């Protein structure tokens, strides 16, 4: 889609949403008004339709009605947002407005996650077990000036339910196919009347997954078990002061994901043979019975602990507030390195003859277990804020913020579960290092690089895993921020936000001995104007600038002189300048709502993995390193729209969609320079951005009718569409578009409800995510011996597959 086409589409939607057009439309008599949602996206309570930001919000009632349990569910119902777990909960990637991180292993995403305004640190704990929520708010566009901490393209804030003045409780029980079971409950009420209130919620949520493991007595695939407790205390000793303390503890068991590997099919990068480096075309689906996961590969064990403390004091001058947060996420894993295949093939040389050069080349198959010691992320944050009274024509807010995180990366590696053949001599390829020359093939090597690479995997039950900590990353950041709001008239308002941040990172790698430290300071800002021609319609315009935290990347390698050298890349902050025009309003007596935004994003200094072939002195390396660097710019433009319509007393409809045009303006990726299609410099300028959908949409129809006394029956259907996505910046491997249809039928009364449901009713089986990596081997799967450079760590794509059709029933009781 061109910029002109995008503008035309926006103008058409803009006109359709204007009061001039909508005021002429008629609805069925007696139609009820839509639910009105109050949000705190700007740290004050406001009606959703009064906030000059593109926001998708879900109330507690909508969270329950839609069955929202995770970030995938949130994204499916949010125009302009997608979410993918590339592999388990290791690499969750929320993407807002197509700003997806190009570096898969990037420790920090471009969209930030918050719980009660506190930043969620540690990617492993990003997609957590959700329960007892009051609201979810997805704020699109840069929010760094207000939220800070890498809300570079947007932010998702989960607002937990507060304790109530009266005693209340609820319980829920769900049973479904393939071991689906959810048991949850919450109680809330006063401990000391008008002074102290408490709330406690618990959940046990488990499922065996959609896929049958073909390994006898093997573990489940794609399932999970969450045991979660959430509690809060709310203290109001006076009318002017309040304090709240919340705790969250979850013990999670997450099965190995439904993964397959597809071997590369295109881009031959070998000068004398065949070494295919990428997959071209649409990624294939699989059957439920196609996967193999070895017995010890039980998946991930994750412990998530959080604590939040909030305090507010109202004075004649304004409100003073403090927000403190602590979290600790710990994760270990046991994963199948063959990615859904029964085993991995290896090439080897065997002694058949007493003569030293008479080797026979053969293959054997081995099961590989990936073992990860504990990754531990501990985070502390403190925010202090002063806000002037809200009843003035101009208002302001000032604050300071401190953030500290320490991440320990546990040792990980591979342990073969199959012994080597009795005739085994060494792995291939057989090469030797010659000073001044580098690695070269030899007929009778003193050392096989295959042995150096794979040998320890077969050395015992733990393979090359030694335990302990491989690396540590510490981040400390200070920031000061402020905002000014002004009422220029009853209809015209303006707002300016500004945040200055100083951040320091320190990285130690105990394997390579590297010790890196750097600091950055940067400014994020936003300016907004909004105009209300009537009470229920608002037009707004904004421009915002944000910067994402800097970083560094490093590795060790020998140069051609035989010296072990350390190579580092220091990464500057990425930059995002966003322009947005929007209109939102409610019409027809509150029966119709519209929220439309047009945006243009200039994204610069994009972090992209690059190949490095020389050390810091310009001496060629014996091998090539892959390090992250600032290496590209991109432009994103598009339109988002959400509509709600109470058609009659009984029928409501919600429609949301986004259409985005995104491309690299100037980007060269050295790792693609040897692709015949992208030689000689790996220029991907003009290609679409990866891991984002140009088209996305959702449609919800909800029919509700009285049955008897206070009992109602209802039918809800959600149709959720996510367009195709490119796996990489070269735009060759394609994750196909998918459409999920969810159906719910139930009876609902004031105190209880019963519901029959089906998710993915039509059983869409298309892959949902993928990334490019290598087979942990020196031979192609199912292929011949080979064993030389063309089959040393052959390229593949690891593909993630969806949850298939689920059916079940849910009983809810309120008291």
Read off the pLDDT of residues 652-694 as tens digits, 9 standing for 90 and up.
Answer: 999 999 999 999 999 999 889 989 999 899 999 999 999 999 9
More confident residue, 788 or 158: 158
Question: Which candidate, 803, 718, 661, 686, places its Cα nearest to that of 80?
Answer: 661
Q: What share of the chain is helix, strand, coil (3-state, %, to 5)?
A: 5, 55, 35
CB 105 within 8 A of CB 93: no
Q: Note the residue count of the chain.
A: 815
How many C-beta atoms lie closer than 10 Å to residue 4's C-beta?
Answer: 8
**pLDDT score for 436:** 53
Query: Which residue in 276, 206, 448 sits closest to 347, CA to CA?
Result: 448
Tell me what the mean pLDDT of segment 322-343 comes to.
95
Q: Give the architecture (CATH level 2) of 3-814.
A: Beta Barrel (2.40)
Q: Is the per-residue pLDDT at 139 higher than 50?
A: yes
| 8 A C-beta contact, residue 379 and residue 112 | no
Task: Kindly report the pTM of this predicted structure.
Answer: 0.93
Cα–Cα distance measured from residue 125 to residue 684, given in angstroms and rounded to the nearest whole number = 33
DSSP 58-106: EEHHHHHHHT--SHHHHHHTSTTEEEEESSTTTSEEEEETT---SSTT-
248: three-class secondary structure by DSSP = strand
Residue 123 DSSP SS3: helix
Which neighbouring-strand residues pair with 767? Answer: none
What pLDDT is recorded for position 18? 53
Lowest mean pLDDT among 106-110, 131-135, 487-491, 538-542: 106-110
Mean pLDDT, residues 586-615 taken together? 92
282, two tokens: 């649409």
Which runs of E-coded beta strand occur in 236-318? 241-254, 259-263, 266-268, 276-278, 281-282, 299-314
- Residue 513: pLDDT band (50, 70, 90) is confident
Q: CA of 70: how far to CAs of 213, 252, 377, 543, 716, in Å?
A: 25, 14, 21, 31, 19
Domain regions of the chain by residue span? 3-814
Is the pLDDT at 249 greater than 80, yes or no? Answer: yes
Q: Are strands 769-774 and 795-800 parallel, antiparallel or unpaired?
A: antiparallel
* pLDDT tens string 280-304: 999 999 999 999 999 999 999 999 9
What mean pLDDT comes out for the span 635-655?
A: 97
pLDDT band, very low/low/confident/very high, at 442 (cuts 50, 70, 90): low
* Residue with more model confidence, 348 or 178: 178
Residue 39 confidence (pLDDT): 82
Q: What is the H or E stretch that residue 170 is in?
A: strand 168-176
DSSP letter string over 406-432?
A: EEEEE-EEEEESSPPPTTEEEES--EE
pLDDT at position 47 is 84
- CB 682 within 8 Å of CB 667: no
* Alpha-carbon distances, residue 409 vs 378, 415, 554 (angstroms): 12, 19, 15
Beta bridge partners of 182: 174, 205
- What mean pLDDT is predicted for residues 158-175? 96
pLDDT at 352: 54
14 sits in which H/E element: helix 3-16
Q: Please count the CA atoms within 13 angstroms of the CA of 463 that sit on its side-chain side.
A: 24
CA-CA distances (angstroms) from residue 302 to 128, 299, 373? Answer: 10, 10, 12
């Amino acid at each position: 889609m061109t910029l002109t086409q995008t503008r035309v589409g926006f103008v058409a939607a803009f006109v359709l949403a204007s009061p001039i057009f909508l005021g002429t439309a008629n609805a069925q008599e007696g139609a009820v008004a839509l639910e009105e949602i109050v949000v705190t996206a700007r740290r004050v309570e406001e009606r959703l339709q009064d906030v000059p930001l593109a926001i998708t919000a879900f109330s507690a009632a909508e969270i329950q009605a839609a069955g929202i349990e995770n970030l995938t569910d949130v994204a499916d119902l949010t125009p302009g947002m997608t979410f993918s777990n590339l592999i388990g909960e290791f690499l969750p990637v929320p993407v807002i407005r197509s700003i997806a991180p190009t570096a898969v292993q990037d420790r920090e995403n471009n969209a930030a996650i918050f719980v009660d305004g506190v930043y969620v640190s540690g990617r492993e704990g990003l997609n957590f077990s959700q329960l007892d929520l009051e609201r979810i708010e997805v704020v699109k566009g840069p929010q760094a000036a207000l939220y800070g901490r890498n809300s570079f393209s947007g932010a998702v804030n989960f607002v937990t339910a507060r304790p109530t003045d009266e005693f209340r409780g609820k319980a829920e029980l769900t049973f479904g196919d393939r071991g689906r079971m959810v048991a949850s409950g919450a109680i809330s009420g006063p401990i000391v009347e008008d002074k102290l209130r408490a709330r406690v919620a618990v959940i046990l949520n488990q499922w065996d997954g959609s896929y049958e493991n073909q390994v006898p007595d093997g573990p489940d695939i794609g399932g999970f078990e969450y045991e979660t407790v959430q509690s809060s205390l709310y203290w109001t000793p006076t009318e002017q002061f309040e304090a709240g303390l919340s705790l969250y503890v979850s013990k999670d068991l997450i099965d190995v994901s439904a993964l397959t590997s597809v071997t590369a099919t295109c881009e031959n990068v070998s000068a004398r043979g065949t070494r295919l480096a990428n997959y071209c075309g649409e990624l294939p689906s699989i059957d439920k019975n196609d996967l193999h996961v070895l017995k010890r590969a039980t998946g991930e064990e994750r412990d998530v602990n959080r604590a939040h403390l909030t305090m507010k004091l109202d004075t004649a001058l304004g409100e003073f507030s403090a927000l403190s947060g602590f979290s600790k996420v710990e994760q270990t894993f046991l994963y199948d390195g063959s990615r859904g295949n029964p085993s991995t093939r290896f090439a080897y040389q065997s002694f058949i003859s007493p003569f030293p050069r008479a080797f026979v080349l053969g293959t054997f198959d081995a099961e590989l277990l990936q073992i990860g010691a504990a990754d531990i992320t501990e985070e502390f944050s403190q925010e202090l804020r002063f806000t002037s009274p809200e009843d003035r024509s101009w208002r302001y807010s000032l604050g300071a913020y401190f953030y500290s995180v320490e991440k320990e990366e546990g040792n990980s590696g591979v342990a073969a579960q199959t012994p080597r053949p009795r005739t085994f001599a060494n792995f291939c390829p057989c090469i030797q290092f010659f000073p001044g020359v580098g690695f070269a093939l030899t007929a009778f090597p003193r050392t096989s690089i295959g042995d150096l690479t794979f040998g320890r995997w077969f050395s015992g039950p733990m393979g090359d895993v030694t335990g302990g900590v491989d690396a540590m990353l510490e981040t400390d950041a200070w920031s000061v921020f402020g905002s000014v709001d002004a009422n220029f008239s009853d209809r015209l308002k303006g707002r300016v936000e500004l945040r200055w941040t100083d951040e320091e990172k320190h990285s130690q790698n105990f394997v390579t001995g590297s010790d890196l430290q750097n600091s950055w300071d940067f400014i994020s800002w936003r300016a907004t104007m909004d105009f209300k021609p009537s009470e229920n319609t608002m037009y707004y315009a904004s421009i915002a600038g944000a910067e994402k935290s800097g970083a560094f990347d490093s590795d060790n390698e020998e140069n051609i002189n035989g010296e072990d050298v350390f190579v580092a890349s220091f990464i500057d902050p990425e930059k995002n300048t966003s322009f947005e025009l929007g209109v939102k309003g409610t019409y027809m007596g509150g029966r119709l709502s519209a929220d439309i935004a047009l945006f243009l994003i200039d994204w610069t200094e994009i972090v992209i993995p690059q190949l490095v072939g020389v050390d810091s002195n310009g001496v060629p390396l014996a091998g090539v390193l892959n390090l992250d660097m600032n290496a590209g710019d991109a432009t994103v433009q598009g339109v988002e729209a959400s509509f709600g319509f109470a058609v009659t007393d009984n029928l409501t409809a919600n429609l949301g969609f986004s259409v985005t045009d995104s491309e690299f303006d100037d980007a060269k990726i050295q790792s693609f320079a040897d692709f015949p299609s992208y030689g000689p410099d790996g220029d991907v300028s003009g290609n679409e951005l990866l891991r984002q959908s140009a088209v996305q949409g959702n449609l919800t129809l909800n029919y509700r009718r009285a049955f008897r006394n206070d009992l109602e029956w209802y039918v809800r259907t959600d149709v959720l569409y996510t367009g195709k996505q490119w796996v990489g910046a070269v735009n060759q491997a394609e994750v196909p578009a998918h459409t999920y249809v969810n159906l719910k039928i139930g009876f609902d009364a004031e105190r209880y409800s019963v519901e029959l449901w089906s998710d993915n009713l039509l059983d869409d089986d298309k892959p949902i995510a993928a990334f490019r990596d290598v087979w942990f081997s020196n031979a192609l799967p199912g292929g011949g011996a080979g064993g030389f450079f063309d089959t040393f760590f052959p390229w593949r794509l690891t593909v993630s597959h969806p949850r298939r059709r689920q059916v079940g029933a849910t009983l809810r009781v309120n008291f």
